[in-house]
Amino acid sequence: VQLQASGGGLVQAGGSLRLSCVASGRTFSIYATAWFRQAPGKGREIVTRINWTGSTYYADSVKGRFTISRDNAKNTVYLQMNSLKPEDTAVYYCAAGKGITNDDRLYYYWGQGTEVTVSS
């Protein structure tokens, strides 16, 4: 599976962005898909994930502001980010794996990352 993330950019605090992660290769729907992020000088952290049943998980820091969704027909996972804060500034990565987990080591496939910058 190859993943291609896009949609990052510069936005003011309170604004919105939608990230996309398009998969090619094997059937995307059999995988759990997650968005991770890595802020400057910090480790990578999970933002949200969605599994093959549509069940989701959100980090406390983004609950109520971010929404993950998937379109299996388009092999695409989306991350709608609303009410963005400066602390959301990071490189965002999509990842796919077979397990339902927040552990980035258990995701086999990774996109190249898309940068999100939120100005105050």
Question: What's the whole-number average pLDDT of the chain?
Answer: 94
* Tokens, residue 107: 């995701």
- With pLDDT > 70 as the criterion, what percentage of the chain qualifies? 97
34: pLDDT strictly greater than 70: yes
* Token pair in block for residue 44: 């990578």
CB 118 within 8 A of CB 86: yes
Per-residue pLDDT averaged across 29-56, rounded? 92
Q: Are 94 and 3 in contact (CB under 8 A)?
A: yes
Other Cβ atoms within 10 Å of 54 Cβ, number: 10
Between CA 44 and CA 38 the distance in angstroms is: 4
CA-nearest of 13, 15, 51 to 32 is 51
pLDDT at 30: 72
- Among residues of the chain, what percentage have pLDDT more than 90? 82
Residue 100 has pLDDT above 90, yes or no: no
The predicted structure's pLDDT at residue 53: 87
The tens digit of pLDDT for each residue in 59-84 reads 999 999 999 999 988 999 999 999 99
Phi, psi at 86, each rounded to 5°: -55, -35
Q: What is the mean pLDDT of residues 111-116?
A: 96
Weakest-pLDDT range from 27-41, 57-71, 90-104: 27-41
**pLDDT above 80 for 26:** no
Q: pLDDT value at position 27?
A: 67
